[in-house]
Structure 1
């Protein structure tokens, strides 16, 4: 993560977590997009432990380490087991 985050001006950085129910895993990506340029998405990790409780712990730890936005794909209508907050409110255009 720190190798990819370069603090370039006019550039947006965020994490994306994708739910993959077909392979029973969660995929993590580091995304960046400079103004007027194409999106760059780098796969970071595949989490084979397909348990929402475990993912919630991972996301909580990730939020403690970084202030970057975390976007969720494939979690529409699902809630975190511990906090009961909705994970993803609306469908993403990539779903």
Structure 2
């Protein structure tokens, strides 16, 4: 497991409370300006506001490395992972789109 994945898992485990009627997910944001990836832990109870907590910044700006970190995260947790700022980019190994284009009218 990579060091970045270990840090993210440790911080995520502290925040994941398994409360009823609460959605939990991770969000990975591509920061074009700082050439890094930011990982957030999101939770939202029913009828309440979204809480987004920054977990970690991955300084290695390489999609292959990010794919490895996310593989480690997926073995640790089954939380959904959303992607932001990756439009038009493909994963190096699978050649699949990272982020699906969202319809703003949904």
Which one of the candidate residues 60, 65, 78 is aligned to 2:89?
A: 78
Question: How far apart are 1:87 and its partner, in Å?
Answer: 0.6
Q: 1:29 to 1:70 in 2, by over 3 A?
A: same
Residue aligning to 1:19: 30
TM-score, structure 2 normalization: 0.84
Q: Does 2:54 align with 1:62? A: no
Q: Does 2:42 align with 1:47? A: no
Question: How far apart are 1:91 and its partner, in Å?
Answer: 4.0
Q: Does 2:46 align with 1:35? A: yes
- Deviation per CA, 1:53-79: give whole Å up to 9, x if none: 100000111111100000000011211
RMSD: 1.3
Structure 1: which 4+ aligned runs deviate by more than 2 Å?
none
| In 2, Cα distance between equivalents of 1:4 and 1:25 | 23
**Count of residues in correspondence between the two structures:** 93
- Alpha-carbon contact 1:29-1:44 (below 8 Å) kept: yes
TM-score, structure 1 normalization: 0.93
| In 2, Cα distance between equivalents of 1:92 and 1:58 | 28
| In 2, Cα distance between equivalents of 1:92 and 1:28 | 23
